[in-house]
Amino acid sequence: MWDKIALILLIIGGINWGLVGIFELDLVAWMLGGAGSLAARAVYILVAISAVWCITLLFRKNEELAVSAANNRQ
């Protein structure tokens, strides 16, 4: 479950950075009242924590990932 949440947050962060790079539009900041707002900062922090969490995916054994995926399907 945590892996999926982290990946969803990373997707949101990646799309946001893509919008910043292409259109100079920070969608998170725009939707949440500016980059300095508490809500926007909370989203940025959650995305950063998700990125750190997903680093563990690189070092997990394939068996652990298969068990985790099987548990998520149930």
Q: What is the pLDDT of residues 7-50, one digit of tens each?
A: 999 999 999 999 999 999 999 999 999 999 999 999 999 999 99
Amino acid code (one letter) for 40: A
Token output for 59? 């070092």
Q: Which residue has the tokens 């652990």?
A: 64
Give CA–CA dist 13/28, Å, rounded: 9
| Spatial CB neighbours of 38, under 8 Å, sequence gap ≥ 6 | none
Q: Is pTM, for the whole model, over 0.85?
A: no
* Size (the chain), residues: 74
